[in-house]
Each structure stands twice: as structure tokens, then as C-alpha cells.
Structure 1
Amino acid sequence: MSQSASLQSPFTPRPGRTRPGAPDYALVLLLALGGALPLQAAEQDDTTGATPEAATDKGNPQATALGKVTVTARRREEDSQKVPTPITVLDGATLENQRITKVQDLQQVLPSVNVAYIHARQSSIAVRGIGNNPASDGLEGSAGVYLDNVYLGRPGMAVFDLLDIEQLELLRGPQGTLFGKNTTAGVLNISTRAPTFTPERTVEVSGGQEGYFQGRGTVSGPLTDELAGRVSAYRTRSDGYITNIHDDNKLNGGERQGIRGQLLYKPGEDFSLRWISEYNEEDSSNGSMVVYGAAPRFWQRAALVGASPIADSDRHKVNIDSRQHVSVHQGGSSVEANWKLANDFTLTSISAYRFWNFTPANDEQLNVSAIRNTGVAVRDRQFSQEIRLASPTGGAFDYVVGAYAFNQNLGNKTFTDYGPFADSYLLGTNLNALNSTSSKANGKIETDSFALFSQGTWHLTDKLDFTAGLRGTYEEKDAKVKRYAPVGGAPVTGAGAVVRNGQLGAYDSGDLSVYSFAPSALLSLSYQFSDDLLGYASLSHGEKSGGVNLAVASAPSAGADSLLVGPERANDAELGLKSTLLERRLQLNANLFWTGIHGYQATTLYQPAGSTQLVQVLSNAGSVRSRGLELEATALPIRGLTLNFNGSYNDVTYLSFKDAPCPAEISTQPGAPASCDLTGKRVVGASKWIANLNGEYKWQLANRFEPYVNASYSYRSEAEGTLDDSDLSKIPGYGLANFSVGVRHDLGDGQLDASVWLKNAFDKDYYLAAFASINGSYTASVGQPRTLGASVRYDF
């Protein structure tokens, strides 16, 4: 349940059981590990991590009231309703009840969030319309993602099954003063369940249409009186839901699997050490996109080479003759230590290492060989260290101070293997310039980031608080881009040689460097009108450092400096209320926001002199304004029924963007201008209206049976599909409905949960991203169609 509304009932798991919400991978392995874990109950309780606390009358298990939700948004445990910032909290049970298992589905449950997803590399999370900038290896995202307090340097690092989640927090607006890397849009903070000193074991198996299967499992418990362990694992597979009529194979399916192991050492109340290691992999055909819209040139060139791409009337079919494939291997390890010092100070250290390897294979959307294979492979390594000190609370002033260091080493390899029809399709005439050639380029960037930060709260009166925060971040990036001379193809002279050299010729950028010092600041005033009503106002500033385009792109004609992009700066104002009403049966939060972005970083298009093809470049698109209203509500209207709603109105426009790429309707015409003015237009990917509603109703029958019904509906209005504001790429608004019914029953020493679920019940066509492609065409990533399935889960 959003905001963790809790309802006590006779079916609440007894000590020795986990509550609903844990996963699997190799069930035999997990059960074997479970047998190896001592299952005696320990007197010591795990107190790490933020967990929802039920706020019910313990003398009356049938009483209903909303529970208190503990968050760590300000790097200490607090009641979310007392934190003066817009924050949405989802517990693991809510994600499991609604079958939210992938990051790209989070926009169905979170306000003001857009997730652009093609595959793991081309993915991004935008908050309040800021951050729709996928596939830029030389840039961080505007919205930061943290997993167990560790910053994920690439958005694709979050593309795996959400496994054994304890809690998810969405903080909106700049969050640079307390989080490790500056973010201009917001933070998605994901916490997994920690090892427990009471035994927990869970096994879950699900199956559904299109060959869907998922197995998940968890084992947790004490190893000694001072050491607890936890192992969670999953394996997921599906056939896919896009048909390739060329060979009748299914695409956008495949396999994902992962495992996470943890140890928690807790010798007493004054010290704890949590070690987490995990590994995830994907072998799939994700990234398969359909032809969404196209200018006449695309259809003319396709006909010229004898290709027959699928028209846009059928959104679940393609006609391609080459391989679509994605391979992802990623993982990491982190150690978090917490010391309780004298006078109740808390010292925290978080050390982490992560890696991410991505290898694609992509076709050019045709059933003839113009481009056999193209893509960008990425290898990424990162190290981070954070140390912070939190003062005790309860006095007139409390604070958090700390230091942060981050190192990232990323390399990519851009490759294109052209087929025998490359010239005719790409150039419109056969010069033998590109036919049957291959081109490769390497990019490399190393980032070093160092920061000092502090945030303090003055309790001016019993009701009035003033908070101020400041962070200084120094960052440097050293990069290099090199393209090798093309290989293959027939010898050419004259015009063919000019085109081959201009588009595929060798190039070396030399050493490139970007340096920046980025301040972040926060001023906030909050007033507790009553125990159940908080009002707040805040001003904040955040910055995201500049970056480097790790593709040759414009460099040969415009110079190496054209690969550099400057920092992105955000100023934000918030005004909000948080309330708990009707004897804690209704929680209602609302806030107004205004954010101005200067130097908005975006991926634009550039046509080099003498070239017929557009290339992607990074640039500062000018200024952007994001303003709107957000509303969240959780209610317990009757016993057994919980309702959650969140919604947002968000007006996101370019205040200045004069050198934007032109849409295909213009750029493919003779005499087209080199750029267009998008000032006053909406920012790409930002829906003006977003609303998410979900509810659960459960009741009790004899013999300890508990039937339940879950329903959810998610709506978002239309959005611009690509940066150029093309009518051919607009993504229409859509609404998705999901349903599930099930029953829980005490069985043996555990609890059995069996359910039937229906995702996208009304089989709506919807799209997770659009992409500007070749010859004025636009492709789109199709959302999952209606899927019926069933799950069986056993907690014991």
C-alpha cells in the first residue's frame, strides 16, 4: 500500500514468518541454504533499514488506522509525514500486490514520473518532466537512482527485476545537499530487505501468457547470535510480444536472472555492519522497436531497396532480417557500517563497487540488408565512498555532515556493419561508399567526483522548524573518442571516396576534459499546525556537472569541442501540506512546485557539412520551466479496504531552445533549415496529467481463509515522443487497468497465497519511448499487451 496503510487481522504473519513480499532464482539452492540457516528464534531484532510501523490498536486486532512510515530522506529515520519535502513511499508489499517488478512499470504507481525505456542502455527516469535523456554514456541522469544507499552511475543499472524490496522512496525536486551525486530533478531511493534474526523463507512461482514464467525465493535467518544472513534470487523468462513476420519469431522476450546475498553483523545496539553482494544478467531481444511514424523519404528509400517495413497500423509486428539482441551482466558489492557514538551521535560509512556490461545487436527496421548490425556496447566500473555524521535529535538543533567520493570508468564501442544496400537506402544513390563496409569507434570517460555536505534543522519553537543545507561538489571528467578507418567495401574514388571518408573516416579527438565546481543549497521552513497537519515552504538549488559525447558525431566537421556539454542548473520552489485526518483513516498531501532549469542537457541532432545523415550530439538546450501541482491520498474507508491515489499536473516547456533539431516533416524537405525554434513547446516525454489509483479489499472467512481483490488504474496524457517535437512521434495518452484476485490461508507452519492476475486488462496500445531514426522515420518501444497469469506463494 502506498504510504504503508496497515490493517491488523488474524492473518498477520506470526513470528517466524515473513510478511508477503520476497523472491526466487534457483529454488533448490535457496531451500538448501534455508536448511543450513539455524531456525531458532533469536532474542535480538533487526533494526536496520526503514520499515513501516503499524499504527493500530494492539488491544483490538480489528482496529484500522494508517501506519507510520519511516523514511531516511534526510539521512536519519523519520516519520514521512514530518519531513517537509514532497516524498512518495511504497513498501515492498504494495509493489508485489500490484506486480510491479520492473523499473519501467514504476510510472504506473508514482506521481510526476516518466520512464523512457527501450532497453537497459536506452532508459531514463524523468521526474516532473526533467530527465528524458536516454543513451548518453557521457552524462548522468537528472534523476538519481540509489540502491541501498549506493548511487547508480548509469540509469541502466536499475534495469533488473525489483527483488526483495523493503521500501521505495521518490523525492521530487533537487536533492543535492544530502545525496551522493547532485541531481536536478529528484531521487529514487530503493531499499532492499535486510537480514533478520527471526527466520524467514519464501518461495513464489508465477506463470502467464506469452511463455511468461518467474520463480523467486528468499531465505533469511540467524547464523549466530550476532550474525544474520539473507539470500534472495529470481529467474524470469518470456517469449516476447512482438512478431517478426520475416521469420515468425517473437521479440522483446528473453531471460533475466539474479541473486543477492547479505550478511548483517550486529554485536550490540551500538554497531551494525551490513554487507550486500549481488549479480544480475539479461539475455533477451529487448530493444525491438516498431515503425511508429515516418516522412515520405523513409517509404521511398525502403521501396528503392525492395524492403517492405510494417506500416504503423500494426503496433506489434516488425519485418527485419537481422538479429535483435541484448546481453547485460551487472552486479556489485557494498558495505554499510553504523556506529552509535557517545552522546547519541551516529557515524555511517558506505563503501561500494559496481560494474555494468551491456552488449547489443540491432537491425535497421528493414527486411533487406542495408545495415546488418549496429549498436553501442558499454563497460562501466564505479567506486564510491560516503562518510557522514548525524547528531542526536531532541534538542534545539540537529544536523548531518559528511563527505563523498566517486570514481567511474566507462568505455563504449560504437559499431556499424553495413550491408550491400547501404548506399541506396542511406544516400538515395549507389556510390559504393558505404556498401559492405564496417565502422568502429571507441569512447572512454573517467569521472572523479568529491563532495562535502551538511544540513541542519533549527527547532525555533515547538512547532516551527528552519532547515538549511549546503553541498560543494568538485568534479572532473577526462575523455577521449577515436574512430578507426573503415574496413571492407569496394575501392572507391571521387564522390564515393569523399562520402566514405566524411562519414566513416578515421578520427581521434585527443584528450578532452571537463571540470566543474557545483554548489547545491536548501532553505526550508516548516510549521506543525497540529500533530496531524504540517505545512512547509522551501527553496533549493541543484547542479549536474557537464559531460562529453562519447561518439564521433559532429567532431570531424565542427571540432572536438562540439563533443562537450556544460552543466545543468536547477532552481526550485515548493509549497506544501501534509495531513492525517479522520482518526488516521485518511492521509492527504498536496504541494505546488516551480522549477527553472538553465543549460538543460539534451541529445539533439546535427548534420555535418557534406553529409546526408544526421548524427546525435549533446548540447545545452537552453532553459526549461517545470511547474505544477501534486496530490497524494491514502484512505481506509471501511474495514479491509485500502485506497491509494496520486496525481500530478505538470506544465513543462522550453523557455528558450532556438537551435533545436527540426522534425522529419521539415528536415527531409528540400532546402530545410539547419535548426528550428522550439521555444514555448513542451519538453519531450513529459505528460501534463498523470493519475494513479489502486485499491485492495480483503475479508475473512472461516478456517483462516482471507480472500482479497486488487485493482489499479494508471493514466497519463499525451507527450512529445522525440526532442524535435514531430507530429509523427507524439505519444497519445493512455490508461492501463490491472486486476488480481486471490486467497491467503494458513497452511502447516506457513501461509499460502494463490492469485490470478490480469495486466493491461483492456489491451491498450501504449508506448514507453519514441526514437528518431533513419530517413525521417520514428520508431517506438511498445508496452506490454494484455497478459493473464497466476502466482502461488508460500511464506514459512
Structure 2
Amino acid sequence: MRAKKSILSLAVSLAMTTGLAVSAQVNAAQEQANQTQAEQEQQNNKNDSFEKIVVTSQKRTQSLNEVPVAVSVLNSDQINSAFANNMEGLQSLVPSVSFRKGTTTRNSALTVRGIGTISFSIAAEPSVATVVDGVVLGRSGQAFADLYDVDRIEVLRGPQGTLFGKNASAGVVNITTKDPSYDTTGSIETSFYQDNEYRFKGVVSGGLSDDLAASLTVFKGKFDGYIDNVYNNEKVNGYDREGARAVFKYEPTDDLTVKFIAEYYNADDDCCADLEGLPSGRNPDSQAVPNSNGIVDGIADIDLDQRKVDHDYESRTIDKHSAFSVQVDKTIGDHTYTSITAQRSWDNTEFREGDFTSIAGDSNQPVFGAPFQLHDIGEQQWDQFSQEFRVTSNLSGPFNYVAGLFYWNMDSQRNFTRDASCQNNAGQLDSAMAFYAQNNLSGAELDAALADLDGYAQGLGVSCNANDIVSATAYMSTEFNNWAAFADGTYELSDDLTMLFGLRYTDDEVSYTHRRVSNDVYGRRGVGVRPATLNTDEQGKAEETNVSGRLGMQYDLGDGQMVYGTYSQGYKGPGFNIYYNFNPDNDGREIAPEESDAFELGYKYASSDFVFNFAVFKTEIEGFQANNFDCSDGTCITRLTNAGDVSTQGAEVDFMWAATDALTLTGGIAYIKAEIDEFNCPPEVAAGSCTDRSGLDVPFSPDLKYSLSADYFIETEHGFNVHVNGSYIYTDEQYSDLPNNVGEFNPAALLPDYGILNASVGLSFKDDAFRVSLIAKNLTDESYATTYSGDNFRYQIPRDAERYFGVSFKARF
């Protein structure tokens, strides 16, 4: 169990609660005073902005209430109020989005409406596209870096194949960063949290000439961690990150804009160690043993207060990002022509503790009677290039459209080495020694060795125990090529009724190589390490084409109201299951494309003080790419396949309400049922050993999720103003894995529901030129797990699963 919070923490918690109560009393008195005309005009301008929430989710600038798509928007104020520095922290504010936390950024993923791709394969793509300033990222993990210059985040829910292409079969996260200003401005922001965490961000922006503006943002963040490693008495699951982003905006004429963006980002995170939430039995005498009774009567007693590990090998992730893009917008007559050229690189190195104990690999006894060692090092590099050309009509008539061409290429190389205890629980050493003899002996010597393999091994001094560490390295590469032509349009049938339509043609190609080599002199098998007899040297290629469409109607009800209905298709390209222990017989088969058909009805309303969006939907996915269970060789693993057909349906609500001049409420709720319709039995599994799994849940698809945020502004007569923010986020229970082949869920994979209350109180001075904020995360101290990682005991429990406090200072000029 966790130690109780310090007296300081409890005192700060009491101060936060008292501050909220006092703030309400101060506001009640303040509301009796008359606002000046200038103050009233300022508030009116704020309310007017509700009708002018801008999005670019349709590749043109539009008001949110004009877009016939279910889209959630987080603006810069909401992002700043959340005091969250990445998508992992912000995704909870969008009820239809869930997050799968991996041990490294490359293994983490987003799901939208219960649909997403969770895989270790380097030849598979996400179902949720992440777009930054018009550039599609090749991997979701690239988006889990710190967000430090964001203007808004738009989450488009449901298939977006027409405009965003092949990896948007479940939805799109569209991130837009801030443009530089011609007025010289800047800010410095620093924050400090418990457990020695700090963040710093500095921004400067201004005009370099009459037609050139630029901005520079730099940031630095460091955190010791929140997990105690009892092996060496050090903190883990912390981070050390830094980055910079430069933007140049050139506007030589009224009809030409050129924007250059360059950025780099470095991270060295001793993260993310899996915690032992259920008893593993691997080291019962360890101080990190969970306070748990295990699985009792089919229910997992997860120790959600666990904050200790006992690891002799540190899990660590090193990330290096660099990116450059240039966007050119030229208006000629009634059309705007846009070109976006981008190059991005991402280097990711992971060090993984795979035996999850500090006593493994020391015994001269064979596994599994003695603890085994398993340590991983994996390096991967992605290089992507993309080019988009498009033309946009300028809404000068009843027919309006966006049309364009898109090209995208990504090369990836990955080297992965595993060092693990030798495995001889089923006589595997004999096979290795026979193979070694056949490659090193001949004639009578070979015959003698094969006749007495035990004697041959003893003569060479070869054993196969837990302290005999063997190794193999896999060298993998993939290349994706994609080009597409797309068009999306509207036609006004009347002043109130508009037809919606779109089409995209996609040509996809993916290829791979896989070469795994045993590093052991004798080619022995290890725990999770294939022997030399199973070395690989394989390659493969898949090509597919697709046509995706969209059709719908939009009707303007007047008074800021609109209804729409759409049918849209999504497409996710082919792939292969390319990972360390790749098996050519099973994993060399092409994974066919994933295709989706979605029906959606929506209602939108916007006024000066209230925005309301409602949507009901149903999406059917064929060829769902997911990790299916395969127990064909006696050991159950999950293998990326076309697991079958699934569907997701439900209802969603988003709203923003200026309840008073001082109080703004923002919230959303999603009720979603993402279920299996039909699942395919893996080809390697014996006939008749699979059962119908229709109606069972898809992983990371909570039935209910909602959030409510409140911003309270109090103007005082004492030279400062008060800003109070509070948010509550609830997430229903959810499974972290698919059911097995006979339709049974692992009880360990059921993640309990949870609700999180966050709050902050800020004091601003001199028209918000200076602001000091007191921050409270998880005021009720409710712990939760975001991911079940496997082995019937491993979990990811985030930093936000416990109460902690911080303070932030921001200065503007």
C-alpha cells in the first residue's frame, strides 16, 4: 500500500478546498458591483467568441457550428487550464477518446469511439490519424511528445477517409500550433510540482519586417519519478525533456502566405516500468510485492496503490524528433492553392526490464524452477516525407469544394536485441547442440557427438541454466508508400439545405525485411529468444488500392442551429506482423486492409453564450486489425491479424456555456458500445477450438465516459483578479485485451472505473501580465490503472493516479 500523504499535502488540499469556498463568497459580493463599460465590452467580446470557434478539420477555416462532423475542440485556454503537457494528459477531456499506455511512446496508442490499433509490429499503422499543422504523422507515438506551442486540438470522431486518408479509419486528432504575431510579444512560464518536477517554457514572437513575422518557443522539463525502485533506492518513471520550435510567416502580398516550421525535441525518460499489481510469485520476499489476494472468484484484486518495483535493469525510453515543413497558400481569383511539404525524423530507443525482478539470472538451476532473466534493447528510426497539393474554392457560389493530391513515404529501421536465460525445460539444449555439431563437425566426430549430445555438451562446458544468458538480434525494416487523389464538396440545394459529398482514391504499398540472428555461440534457445535453428532472412510486400466516399445532407434550422446526416467510409492500409520473434509461417501473411462504414446524425447549436453538439452514430468495421490469441504452440501469445468484424455505436454530447459573466462550463459525455460482431479463428489454431465471441467488448472501449470543467473569474478591487478552474473526469471500467479464442476475458485485464477531480486557483496582476497558480491534481486521491500489460500481473499506473500539488508562474510582455 502507498504511504499516507504528508501533513504538507493535506494542508495544501485543505487550502485548495477553502480557497474554492472563499472564491464563491468573494464572487457573490463582487457581482453586486457594477462593471465599467470597458469591462462589459470585454465580456461581450468573450461571449461572442462562442459563435466563432474556428476549426480546420475540413481543410478550410470554418466555425465549429458550421462543420457537419462530430468534432471536439480544446482551445489554448482549456489546454493551459488543464496544466497537462501532452496528449496523455489531455485525451481525458474528450470523452470519446481513450489512451493505451505502453512501456514506451512507440507502444502507446489512442482509440476513438472504442476503435484503435494496438500492436508491436513496425509494419502496421494506427487507426487514429494524428495531424500537426496539416502534416500526417506516421506513428501515434510521435504525438505523445510534449505539447508546448498549441493553439487548439480538434478531435474528429469516426472515419475521416475522404480528407485524411488511410490511417483515419477511426478518427483524427488535428493539432494546430500558434502563428507568430507582428506585434512583439513574449511569455515565460515555469511550474514546480511535488517529487521534484519542474517545467519551463519561453516564447518570443514579433515582426522582423513589414511582411515577415517569426516566433521561437523553447521548453525544458524534468521529473525524478514517482515509483520507488527498492533494488537501488532510486525513483523511476520520470523524464528529462527539452525542445524548441521556430516559425516564420512570410506575407509579401495579400494573396500569398508562406509559413516555415522547424522543431526538435529530445527526451530521456526512465519510463515506463510495469508495476506488479497482482502477485507474480517471482520474488515473494521483495519489498515490492503487491498488497493483493490475486484473482479470487474470477475478480482481480489489483493493488492500485502499488508504487514500488524491484528491478535490476532500468526501463528507459530515449526519443529524438526533428521536423521541418513549409506551407504555401496562394489565392488566385476564387480559389486558394495550397502546398504542404514536410520532412520528419524520429529516433526511439527503448530499454526494457522483461523479467520484472532483481533476482533473475543468478541461479545455476534450469528455468522455470529458477527465476529467469529477460532484458531488451530496441532501437528504431523513422524518416517520413509528405507532399500535399490542394485547391480550395472560396465559397463564392452554391458549389464549393476542396480537391487535391497527396504523397507520403516512410522508411523505418529497427534493431532489437534480447538477453535472456537459457531455456531447457523441454530438452531444447539437445536441438541446439545437434545443430552446432552439424555445422562444426563431420564424419566420425559428428556421429559420436549426435550419439551422445549430453556428453558432447559437457565436453564443451556448455550448460543451459538460468545464469547462462543467451541472446539474439532482429534487424527489421519497413517502407510505406502512399499516394492519393481526393475531393470533398458541398452544394447548396437551397438557402437552408446543403448536399455533402466526397471521394478519395488511395494507392498503398508496404514492404518489409526481417533478419534475426542468434548471438549465442551454440545457438541455444532462451526465454523469449529463438534458437539459431530459427534464424530468419525474410522479406515481403503488399499493394492495395481503395476508393472511400462520403455522402450526406446538412440543414440549417436558423437561430444558430443545424442538423446533419452522413454516411462515410474509412480505410486503413495493409500490413504485416513484423516484430522480434517473427515467425515466417504465421506472420509472413499479409494483413488485409481494414475498412469501415459509418452512419452519423448530428445536431449543433451556437449562440453568444452557449454551444451544444449532439451526435448518434454506428460504425461497422470489416477486417479489424487487432492482436488475436494464438496458443497453437503451447504458449499463448497475441498476434496481429485481421481478427474479424467489429462495430461501435452510441451517442455523444459536447457543450460550452457562459453561465454568467464570471462562470464558464465546458463538458461532454459519450455512451459507446464497441463490440465484436464476428471474430476469425487464427489459421494456426485447431479447428473447433474457437467459439463465437459476438457481443463481447473491444479493448479500451469504456461504455461511459464524461467530463465537466468550470472556469470562474473574480475581479477584485485589490490590484489582482482570481481565476478558479475545476474539472471532473469519469471513465467507466474497460478491458485492456480481447477475449481469448473461447470467448473468455482474463480477469486481470479488466481495468476498474475511476473519477478524477482536478483544480487550480490563480491570481493575475496588471491585466494578466503576471499570473501565479496553485495546482491540485487528483484531489480525491483516487488511484487507477490505464493498461494491463500482461503475464497476469503487470500494469501501468500513471503519475496522475495519486494526489499531488504544484505551483505555476507566468509572465507576459
By the TM > 0.5 criterion, same fold? yes
Matched, 1:622 2:637: no
The corresponding residue for 2:150 is 165
Tell me the SS of whatever aligns to 1:97. Answer: helix
Cα distance between partner residues in 2 of 1:415 and 1:708: 51
Cα distance between partner residues in 2 of 1:587 and 1:559: 51
Structure 1 position 690, deviation (Å) = 0.5
Residue among 336, 339, 358 paired with 2:327: 336
Cα distance between partner residues in 1 of 2:400 and 2:727: 41
Structure 1 position 334, deviation (Å) = 0.4
Tell me the SS of whatever aligns to 2:47. Answer: strand
Structure 1 position 466, deviation (Å) = 0.3
The corresponding residue for 2:130 is 145
Residue among 68, 71, 74 paired with 1:87: 71
Matched, 1:707 2:707: no
The corresponding residue for 1:603 is 627
Residue among 564, 567, 575 paired with 1:536: 564
Contact residue 766 and residue 783 of structure 1 kept, 8 A: no
String of CA shifts for 1:130-180, please: whole Å, max 9, x gaps: 004143321111010001110010111112111111111111111111125
Contact residue 513 and residue 538 of structure 2 kept, 8 A: yes
The corresponding residue for 2:761 is 741
The corresponding residue for 1:238 is 223
The corresponding residue for 1:770 is 788
Matched, 1:754 2:772: yes
Cα distance between partner residues in 2 of 1:553 and 1:384: 31
Q: Rate the CA distance shift 1:509–1:681 in 2: closer, same or farther, 3 A.
A: farther
Residue among 281, 289, 292 paired with 1:310: 289
Cα distance between partner residues in 2 of 1:498 and 1:740: 52
Contact residue 276 and residue 333 of structure 1 kept, 8 A: yes
Contact residue 707 and residue 729 of structure 2 kept, 8 A: yes
Amino acid at match of 2:542: V
Q: Rate the CA distance shift 1:395–1:621 in 2: closer, same or farther, 3 A.
A: same
Amino acid at match of 1:65: N
Structure 1 position 233, deviation (Å) = 1.2
Contact residue 729 and residue 778 of structure 1 kept, 8 A: no
Q: Rate the CA distance shift 1:549–1:334 in 2: closer, same or farther, 3 A.
A: same
The corresponding residue for 1:396 is 398
The corresponding residue for 1:45 is none
The corresponding residue for 1:515 is 543
Contact residue 122 and residue 579 of structure 2 kept, 8 A: no
String of CA shifts for 1:248-300, please: whole Å, max 9, x gaps: 11111021111101111111210010000101111111121112346xxx53x
The corresponding residue for 2:579 is 551
Contact residue 241 and residue 316 of structure 1 kept, 8 A: yes
Amino acid at match of 1:685: F
Matched, 1:366 2:357: yes
Amino acid at match of 1:792: F
Q: Rate the CA distance shift 1:537–1:500 in 2: closer, same or farther, 3 A.
A: closer
Tell me the SS of whatever aligns to 2:41. Answer: coil
Structure 1 position 316, deviation (Å) = 1.1
Cα distance between partner residues in 2 of 1:652 and 1:765: 25
Q: Rate the CA distance shift 1:169–1:427 in 2: closer, same or farther, 3 A.
A: farther
Contact residue 658 and residue 677 of structure 1 kept, 8 A: no
Tell me the SS of whatever aligns to 1:108. Answer: helix
Residue among 634, 640, 652 paired with 2:674: 652
Residue among 446, 470, 486 paired with 1:453: 486
Cα distance between partner residues in 2 of 1:224 and 1:391: 30
Matched, 1:568 2:594: yes
Residue among 604, 608, 613 paired with 1:589: 613
Structure 1 position 106, deviation (Å) = 2.1
Structure 1 position 425, deviation (Å) = 13
1:350-499 equivalences in 2 (<5 Å): 350-363=340-353, 364-369=355-360, 370-419=372-421, 431-432=464-465, 435-487=468-520, 491=522
Tell me the SS of whatever aligns to 1:275. Answer: strand
Structure 1 position 523, deviation (Å) = 0.5
Amino acid at match of 2:207: P
Tell me the SS of whatever aligns to 2:715. Answer: coil
Contact residue 85 and residue 147 of structure 2 kept, 8 A: yes
Contact residue 604 and residue 612 of structure 2 kept, 8 A: yes
Matched, 1:730 2:750: yes
Q: Rate the CA distance shift 1:308–1:487 in 2: closer, same or farther, 3 A.
A: farther
Structure 1 position 200, deviation (Å) = 1.3
Aligned length: 711
The corresponding residue for 1:790 is 807
String of CA shifts for 1:745-775, please: whole Å, max 9, x gaps: 118xx700111000111121112222123xx
Residue among 302, 312, 317 paired with 1:321: 312
Structure 1 position 702, deviation (Å) = 2.0
Structure 1 position 721, deviation (Å) = 1.6
Contact residue 107 and residue 141 of structure 2 kept, 8 A: yes
Contact residue 390 and residue 401 of structure 1 kept, 8 A: yes
- Greater Cα offset, 652-661 or 428-437: 428-437
Contact residue 486 and residue 506 of structure 1 kept, 8 A: no
Cα distance between partner residues in 2 of 1:355 and 1:500: 30
Structure 1 position 182, deviation (Å) = 4.1
Q: Rate the CA distance shift 1:679–1:203 in 2: closer, same or farther, 3 A.
A: same
Structure 1 position 503, deviation (Å) = 4.8
Contact residue 450 and residue 474 of structure 1 kept, 8 A: yes
Cα distance between partner residues in 1 of 2:322 and 2:496: 45
Structure 1 position 217, deviation (Å) = 0.9
Q: Rate the CA distance shift 1:485–1:126 in 2: closer, same or farther, 3 A.
A: same
Residue among 235, 247, 251 paired with 2:236: 251
Tell me the SS of whatever aligns to 1:594. Answer: strand
User: Looking at CA atoms only, which structure, 1 or 2, has the larger radius of gyration?
Assistant: 2
The corresponding residue for 2:13 is none
Cα distance between partner residues in 1 of 2:114 and 2:377: 27
String of CA shifts for 1:307-336, please: whole Å, max 9, x gaps: 786225342111112122111111210000
Cα distance between partner residues in 2 of 1:428 and 1:82: 68
Cα distance between partner residues in 1 of 2:194 and 2:675: 40
Cα distance between partner residues in 1 of 2:115 and 2:389: 29
Contact residue 125 and residue 167 of structure 2 kept, 8 A: no
Contact residue 471 and residue 529 of structure 2 kept, 8 A: no
Structure 1 position 79, deviation (Å) = 1.0
Give identity over the alignment, percent: 28
Cα distance between partner residues in 2 of 1:220 and 1:403: 33
String of CA shifts for 1:103-143, please: whole Å, max 9, x gaps: 11122211200011222111111100000414332111101
Q: Rate the CA distance shift 1:389–1:58 in 2: closer, same or farther, 3 A.
A: farther
The corresponding residue for 1:688 is 703
Cα distance between partner residues in 2 of 1:561 and 1:132: 19
Q: Rate the CA distance shift 1:731–1:660 in 2: closer, same or farther, 3 A.
A: farther
Q: Rate the CA distance shift 1:207–1:682 in 2: closer, same or farther, 3 A.
A: same
Amino acid at match of 2:603: L
Structure 1 position 424, deviation (Å) = 7.2
String of CA shifts for 1:416-449, please: whole Å, max 9, x gaps: 11147x6679999995499310111011110110
Cα distance between partner residues in 2 of 1:58 and 1:580: 23
Contact residue 116 and residue 132 of structure 1 kept, 8 A: no
Structure 1 position 604, deviation (Å) = 3.0
Cα distance between partner residues in 1 of 2:336 and 2:258: 13
- Give the TM-score of the pair, scaled to structure 1: 0.85
The corresponding residue for 2:365 is none
Cα distance between partner residues in 2 of 1:252 and 1:457: 49
Cα distance between partner residues in 1 of 2:38 and 2:676: 52
